[in-house]
């Protein structure tokens, strides 16, 4: 964490920038919609970098034309999970891509405890390293914030 200059978790797009305002988020959403992406909202309380499968909030949003609909859903997710990580994910259905086109975090807990490095000593002088997220040390519902 000390080597991270922005002192927050950096995953997805824009994560080294200051937090996006709602207007900026709306512009990004509109950019995705104009390219035909389908947006969906995901949340988690375990921000480990290898935790790629976050919980989905509601259904993926197909056939939308305007960012207001997605933004309303983001705000309702923020209301439900104020102390969770929430990210917006855009699915690009183009044949041959069929994958995530954009992804960025739109909500973070008030306090981000970050990660610790765990060293495991093995035979000889072999070392094994793993990353442990401090947040996931606490039980569900007490991670993040307070």
Contacts with another protein by CB under 8 A lie at 17-19, 22-24, 26-27, 58-59, 61, 63-73
* Least distance in angstroms from the C-beta of 25 to another protein: 9
Across-strand partners of 102?
Answer: 90
- Map tokens 């990353």 to a residue: 131
* Least distance in angstroms from the C-beta of 21 to another protein: 8
- Map tokens 């610790």 to a residue: 116
Separation of alpha carbons 25 and 106, rounded Å: 8
CB closer to another protein out of 16 and 134: 16
CB closer to another protein out of 45 and 70: 70
CB closer to another protein out of 69 and 113: 69
- Map tokens 């056939």 to a residue: 63
């Amino acid at each position: 964490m000390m080597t991270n200059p922005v002192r927050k978790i950096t995953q997805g797009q824009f994560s080294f920038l200051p937090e996006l305002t709602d207007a900026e988020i709306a512009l990004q959403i509109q950019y995705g919609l104009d390219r035909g992406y389908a947006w969906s909202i995901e949340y988690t309380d375990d921000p480990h970098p290898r935790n790629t499968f976050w919980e989905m909030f509601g259904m993926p949003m197909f056939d939308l034309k305007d960012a207001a609909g997605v933004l309303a859903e983001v705000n309702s997710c923020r209301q439900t999970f104020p102390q969770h990580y929430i990210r917006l994910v855009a699915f690009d259905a183009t044949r041959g891509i069929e994958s995530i086109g954009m992804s960025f975090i739109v909500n973070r807990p008030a306090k981000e405890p970050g990660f610790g490095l765990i060293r495991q000593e093995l035979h000889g002088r072999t070392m094994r390293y793993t990353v442990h997220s401090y947040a996931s040390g606490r039980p569900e519902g007490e991670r993040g914030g307070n």
